[in-house]
Amino acid sequence: MTAVGRRTSYRRRLKVRVAVTGATGYVGRFIVDALLRAGHKVQAWARPTSERGGFAGEVLWVEGGLGRHGSEQALLRNADALVHAAFEHVLGRYRGGEGNDPERFLAVNREGSLSLLASADAAGIERVVFFSSRAVYGGRCWDRPLDEDHPPRPDTLYGAYKLAVEQGLALGARGRAWSSLRATGVYGRAWPLSRSKWYDVVRTSLGGEAPSARGGTEIAGCDVAAAVQLLLNAPAAEISGRAFNVSDVYVTHRAISRLAGGALAPRSGPPTGIMVTGRLQSLGWRPLGWAGVVDAVESLVAELG
């Protein structure tokens, strides 16, 4: 049995209609597929150019996006819950995703997200999950584990906007099941395959060239999706207005290349930015651990080798 099959599942108590933003993005696809497999109905924003194929089931697509007039109400119509994972940025960049236009970056992402939350409030949405980031903690104190009580102090515009939306969500929760997930790097088989985390690392290593030296904390996409669904089911009193770290293991390119059986990447520095996930685990969430990384790399090797 694979690591994915061994993962402890959350309790599926509710079958609801979930509005999702960022559904066609890298992380959003993990979330949508898990919602569909759990029996939820999904309605999601999409642009005319969005790639809507490759999902595990049928999605009701709503034309729109952050900052697009009128699309918030259309997205939320008849929805029971909202998962907000949309983020507009320079392609391939998160920190630094504002590029040369920070004003537009904030107008679309921060103000657009706060407007979406206001619309969710007006629509009576009782459950909201906002996909936040480890970046809210900033770059300090990376020599020690970080729990959710660690004071956030973002040092990038990306982290600052995420924190601002978290704060807006907490203020708007008012006892409802509105919560945030502070995520680290996300890995897993993507659609198409070339979007998968470590795809280039494995391909480079198998080609006989040493990948670059790099390391970071990672979480499987299926574990992120399980965390989302857990927050869609948890009692409001246990999650209302709260942020939850979602992370798992520290992974280096050297370890990935070793698992792939190809040319080894150089050694990278020691682990940094480790987040404690006790708050989420207290609700019953359990990540895959290292077995998930092994499965992901073996899958890539099988398809690229």
Q: Strand locations in the chain, DSSP E?
A: 17-21, 41-46, 60-63, 81-84, 127-133, 177-183, 185-187, 215-220, 243-246, 249-252
CATH no. of 15-304:
3.40.50.720
pLDDT, one tens digit per residue, over 104-142 is: 889 999 999 999 999 999 999 999 999 999 999 987 666
Classify residue 54 by burial, with Cβ atoms within 10 Å: 0-12, 13-18, 19+: exposed
pLDDT, one tens digit per residue, over 147-195 is: 999 999 999 999 999 999 999 999 999 999 999 999 999 999 998 999 9
Cα–Cα distance, 84 to 162 (Å, whole number): 12
**How is the chain split into domains, by residue range?**
15-304
pLDDT at 269: 85
Q: Which of 3-7, 16-20, 131-135 has the lowest mean pLDDT?
A: 3-7
Q: CB-based contacts of 41: which residues, under 8 Å, 6+ apart? A: 16, 17, 18, 60
Sheet of 185-187: strand order equals 185-187, 215-220, 249-252
pLDDT for 9 beyond 70: no
Tokens 């290593």 belong to which residue? 205
Cα–Cα distance, 12 to 70 (Å, whole number): 33
Q: Strand locations in 77-124, DSSP E?
A: 81-84
Q: What percent of the chain has pLDDT over 90?
A: 78
Confidence of residue 7 (pLDDT cuts 50, 70, 90): very low
Helix, coil or strand: residue 58: coil
pLDDT for 8 beyond 50: no
pLDDT for 56 beyond 50: yes
